[in-house]
């Protein structure tokens, strides 16, 4: 294990070598970065100069060692980091030497960062994780306790997390510690847990190097935080529904030990008991779509007993074939000799659970303490405006506003959100449009079809007049009965408030 003092000295060396996010991204260039996104190192090699002559180029040496995952001459690595740190990294199992005297990363260290948000500090540091298994067409086979680096799923969870100042935050299943790096930017205290001791060891490296003081705890689900409550819980749990594997073969980073989506259910349902008043739990996950029960009813069955408000967004739906093919390929088994048997076995497993599809999406729970919690479950496969976290915060808050009695709703002076635009569609020269749509250019990018009365109401909501006064004026203009128009528009006004088109 690396001593804290070693990690602090390592940080100094990384900074001195300009092995930090912006300089490294600049060195790789646009093509180099895009290539790495496709798991191809060729464009990055060209950016470094191929063949690469390390000379005194410490930054280039570290990019070769940790980003391209090459074997690099030991003397060049010692030049970049210092011989004693190379030895310490070797003793900690993060580097290994080969017979030819070259050094290779067992667990690479890559610069990581994110911009500051309106309510959160910038993230700047490094993540330490196992080697990326798919670079340059490699097999993708990994050890059972493999620790994932930042993945597209981690980025999505980071984007959907509500970034508001909170007291205590929990990162459940921290892996390399990536979510904790983000949480530290707006939480007073961060607890990070994992079932995998290797994950905690690498997360400790990531967090100490990045100057983040998180409380790391080993254990399954909520065992390490028994009796504790948090203002924010985030998790990207091992949600892949795979057939049970023999001990030591289950890929801990992606597969739970419970059947089907039971581990996801536990993360969500048990998580609700660990939320402080007004606390939020945000999870990126998969869930089973079973025969004979609408997916939303099944998930509502999990959520209703928690007593929390819930917003569930299904982003994608896969059939069992697509699902199994995707995850066999992820494990590097798509060209394995026993691929067909594994494929059939997995399909049979899902069929045995009654799984006819898999939903991929986001679950956000808020402990609002409401007598009648608001449950909203919807399929929304359309483009959204990332980061979406603010939209979750607004949506949870909009429930409070929309809950008002009709009289209070009508007495409020609403403002149309500045990101709402009106689109009209019709034949050229026609007096009236055939379709009138109010569209959000923010968050979930929702859209609603409006008629003249509703569009006029929204258009006049600038915080000056009450909704009731505006509807009265519209009734005069349209020469209709004001009470009838009020009765027609009030439920639609409530929906517009709940969806964040109008705010107070
Ligand atoms: C998909 S990875 C997510 C890692 C990281 N949080 C991210 O966002 O990239 C899931 C993590 O959950 C951990 N894990 C697996 N089973 C767990 C359990 N029962 N309790 C807690 N963590 C678990 C795995 O070891 C792994 O680090």
Q: Which of 183, 163, 182, 169 is nearest to 394 (CA)?
A: 163
Query: Using 50, 70 and 90 to split pLDDT, how confident is the model at 249?
Result: confident
Q: Specify the pTM.
A: 0.94
> At 210, is the secondary structure helix, strand, or coil?
coil
pLDDT at res. 246? 80
105 - beta bridge partners? 95
Q: Are 325 and 259 in contact (CB under 8 A)?
A: no
pLDDT at res. 426? 86
Testing ligand 1's pocket by substitution, the residue of 110, 175, 190, 200 carrying the most ligand atoms inside 8 A of its CB is 175
Q: Are 137 and 198 in contact (CB under 8 A)?
A: no
Expressed in angstroms and rounded, the spacing between residue 359 Cα and the centre of ligand 1 is 19
pLDDT at res. 333? 86
Residue 340 above 90 pLDDT? yes
Q: List b or e across 142-181, with b for residues whose CB sees 16 or more CB atoms inside 10 angstroms.
A: bebbbbbbbbeebbbbbbbbbbbebebbbbbbbbbbbbbb
d(C-alpha 6, C-alpha 498), whole Å = 52
Name which residue sits closest to atom 4 of ligand 1, judged by CA: 175
* Mean pLDDT confidence for 112-130: 94
* Helices first, then strands: H and E counts in the chain: 18, 18
Q: Are 384 and 500 in contact (CB under 8 A)?
A: no
Higher-scoring residue by pLDDT: 430, 272? 272
Name which residue sits closest to atom 8 of ligand 1, judged by CA: 154
d(C-alpha 33, C-alpha 26), whole Å = 9
Name which residue sits closest to atom 26 of ligand 1, judged by CA: 253
Expressed in angstroms and rounded, the spacing between residue 122 Cα and the centre of ligand 1 is 24
Q: Which atom of ligand 1 is nearest to the CA of 145?
A: 25
Query: Using 50, 70 and 90 to split pLDDT, how confident is the model at 432?
Result: confident
- Per-residue model confidence as pLDDT tens digits over 19-59: 999 999 999 999 999 999 999 999 999 999 877 777 789 99
Query: Using 50, 70 and 90 to split pLDDT, how confident is the model at 93?
Result: very high
Q: Are 52 and 45 in contact (CB under 8 A)?
A: yes
Average pLDDT over all residues of the chain: 94
Residue 247 above 80 pLDDT? no
Percent share of the chain, pLDDT over 90 = 84
Query: Using 50, 70 and 90 to split pLDDT, how confident is the model at 138?
Result: confident
Residues with CB under 6 A from ligand 1: 148, 151, 154, 157, 172-175, 178-179, 193-196, 199, 220-221, 236-238, 252-254, 256
Expressed in angstroms and rounded, the spacing between residue 349 Cα and the centre of ligand 1 is 23
Q: Which of 129, 130, 136, 72 is nearest to 104 (CA)?
A: 72
Expressed in angstroms and rounded, the spacing between residue 497 Cα and the centre of ligand 1 is 36
pLDDT at res. 118? 87
Q: What angle do CA 259, 263, 266 make, to 5 degrees?
A: 130
- Per-residue model confidence as pLDDT tens digits over 99-116: 888 999 999 999 999 999
Expressed in angstroms and rounded, the spacing between residue 218 Cα and the centre of ligand 1 is 11
- Per-residue model confidence as pLDDT tens digits over 195-233: 999 999 999 999 999 999 999 999 999 999 999 999 999
- Per-residue model confidence as pLDDT tens digits over 357-406: 999 999 999 999 998 999 999 999 999 998 899 889 888 888 888 888 99
d(C-alpha 216, C-alpha 228), whole Å = 15
d(C-alpha 493, C-alpha 489), whole Å = 6
pLDDT at res. 146? 96
* Mean pLDDT confidence for 247-267: 92
pLDDT at res. 53? 77
Residue with tokens 């729970």: 365
d(C-alpha 311, C-alpha 395), whole Å = 8
Expressed in angstroms and rounded, the spacing between residue 105 Cα and the centre of ligand 1 is 22
């Amino acid at each position: 294990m690396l001593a804290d003092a070693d990690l602090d000295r390592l940080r100094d060396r990384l900074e001195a070598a300009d092995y930090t996010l912006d300089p490294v991204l600049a060195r790789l260039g646009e093509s180099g970065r895009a290539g790495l996104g496709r798991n191809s190192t060729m464009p990055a090699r060209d950016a470094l100069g191929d063949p690469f002559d390390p000379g005194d180029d410490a930054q280039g040496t570290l990019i070769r060692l940790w980003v391209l995952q090459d074997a690099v001459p030991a003397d060049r690595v010692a030049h970049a980091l210092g011989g004693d740190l190379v030895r310490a990294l070797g003793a900690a199992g993060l580097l290994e030497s080969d017979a030819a005297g070259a050094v290779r990363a067992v667990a690479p260290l890559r610069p990581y960062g994110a911009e500051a948000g309106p309510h959160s500090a910038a993230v700047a540091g490094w993540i330490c994780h196992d080697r990326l298994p798919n670079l340059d067409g490699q097999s993708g086979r990994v050890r059972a306790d493999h620790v994932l680096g930042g993945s597209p799923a981690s980025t999505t969870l980071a984007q959907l997390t509500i970034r508001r100042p909170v007291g205590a935050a929990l990162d459940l299943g921290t892996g390399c510690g990536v979510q904790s790096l983000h949480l530290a930017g707006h939480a007073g205290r961060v607890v990070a847990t994992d079932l995998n001791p290797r994950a905690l060891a690498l997360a400790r490296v990531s967090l100490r190097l990045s100057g983040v003081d998180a409380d790391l705890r080993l254990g399954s689900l909520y065992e390490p935080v028994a009796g504790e409550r948090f203002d924010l819980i985030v998790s990207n749990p091992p949600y892949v529904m795979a057939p049970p594997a023999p001990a030591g073969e289950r890929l801990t980073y992606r597969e739970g030990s419970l059947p089907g989506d039971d581990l996801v259910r536990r993360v969500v349902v048990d998580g609700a008991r660990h939320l402080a008043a007004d606390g939020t739990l945000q999870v990126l996950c998969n869930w089973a779509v079973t025969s004979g029960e609408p997916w939303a009813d099944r998930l509502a069955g999990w959520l209703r007993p928690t007593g929390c408000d819930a917003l569930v967004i299904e982003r994608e739906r896969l059939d069992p074939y697509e699902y199994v093919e995707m995850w066999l390929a992820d494990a590097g088994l798509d060209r394995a000799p026993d691929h067909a048997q594994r494929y059939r076995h997995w399909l049979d497993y899902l069929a045995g659970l009654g799984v006819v599809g898999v939903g991929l999406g986001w679950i956000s729970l808020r402990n609002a303490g409401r007598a009648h919690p608001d449950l909203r479950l919807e399929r929304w496969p359309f483009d959204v405006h990332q980061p979406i976290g603010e939209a979750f915060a607004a949506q949870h808050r909009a429930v409070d506003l929309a809950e008002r009695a009709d009289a209070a709703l009508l007495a409020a002076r609403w403002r149309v959100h500045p990101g709402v635009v009106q689109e009209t569609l019709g034949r050229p020269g026609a007096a009236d449009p055939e379709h009138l749509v109010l569209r959000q250019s923010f968050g979930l990018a929702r859209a609603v079809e409006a008629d003249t009365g509703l569009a006029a109401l929204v258009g006049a909501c600038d915080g000056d007049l009450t909704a009731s006064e505006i509807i009265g004026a519209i009734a005069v203009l349209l020469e209709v009965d004001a009470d009838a128009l009020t009765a027609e528009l009030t439920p639609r006004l409530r929906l517009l408030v709940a969806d964040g088109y109008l705010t107070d």
